[in-house]
A and B are shown apart, each in its own frame.
Chain A
Amino acid sequence: EAAVTQSPRNKVAVTGGKVTLSCNQTNNHNNMYWYRQDTGHGLRLIHYSYGAGSTEKGDIPDGYKASRPSQENFSLILELATPSQTSVYFCASGDAADFYEQYFGPGTRLTVL
C-alpha cells in the first residue's frame, strides 16, 4: 500500500509536446512537492503545494506548471517539453504533524526526444 504513487513510471515525449505527470498520496498530507533529479545536481524543487487549489514556485519552476485539484493529487505539467527536461521526476508529500519529513513516490523517468 504505497502511500505516494506516480504515473506514468516511464514516459517518452517529443519536443514541443505536452506532458503531464501525476502524483497521488494517501498520507493525508497537506504539502506536496515535485522535484527533478539529475546527475551532479541532486534533487531540485520545481513546484510545491500547501493544499488543494494552491501551487507555489520552487527553485527551478521555468518551463513547468503544477496543479493541485485535491488533497490527494498533484500534477506536474510540461506544456512544451524540451530535451533539457529529460530527467527523473519525484513527487513527495509532507506535513507539520510529521515535522515535514517528506515521503517520496517511486519516480518517473521522462525522456524528451
Chain B
Amino acid sequence: AQKVTQTQTSISVMEKTTVTMDCVYETQDSSYFLFWYKQTASGEIVFLIRQDSYKKENATVGHYSLNFQKPKSSIGLIITATQIEDSAVYFCAMREGITGNTGKLIFGLGTTLQVQP
C-alpha cells in the first residue's frame, strides 16, 4: 500500500544555515510524483516543489531543492540560507501514476521547522 513517512517531527536551525527534511515513501507504481508543501503559522498551505519519478535531475526552485534517491524511496527537501520566514510545517506528498486523473495525493504527517535568529 502507498505510504509517505516523515520521521522528523521537528527541527530547529539557526538562520542562514542549510536544513534537510527527510521523507520516505512506499509505492508499487513505476511512475509517481512527489511534492512538498509548506503550511505557515496562519494555516495557509502552499505548494513548493515537485519531483517526477522518471527524472534523474533533482528539482530546484529558488532556495528549495530536492535530494531524490529513488533506490532508497527517499525525497529530501533542502532549504539553503534559511530565513525566519521559513519557519513552518513542511509536508511531503506523493501521487501515483495509476491514480490516473484523480490527482489524489497521500500526505506525510509533516515536519515542523523552526528557524532561530
Contact = CB atoms under 8 A, between A and B. Distances in A.
B43 interface: yes
A40 B110 CA distance: 9
Contacts of A41: 109
Interface stretch (A14-22, A42-50, A78-86): A42-50
Interface string B21-57: 0000000000001010100000111110010100000
Interface stretch (B10-18, B65-73, B80-88, B98-106): B98-106
Question: Which of the four size classes fits the interface of chain A?
Answer: 20 to 34
Interface in B75-117: 91, 95, 101-105, 107-110
B47 A102 contact: yes
A64 interface: no
Nearest to B46: A104
B104 A45 contact: yes
A96 to B, nearest CB: 6
B74 to A, nearest CB: 19
B44 A96 contact: no
B50 A101 contact: yes
Given A31-B103, A42-B109, A99 B43 contact: no
A43 B107 contact: yes
Given A90-B45, A101-B47, A101-B50, A31 B101 contact: yes
Contacts of B95: 100
B101 A99 contact: no
Contact of B43 (A95, A96, A106): A106
Given A31-B103, A92-B45, 10 more contacts: A31-B101, A40-B109, A41-B109, A43-B107, A45-B104, A94-B103, A96-B101, A99-B52, A102-B47, A102-B103
Interface of A: 30-31, 33, 40-43, 45, 48, 50, 56, 58, 88, 90, 92, 94-96, 99-104, 106-107
6 contacts: A31-B103, A33-B104, A43-B91, A50-B102, A100-B95, A104-B44
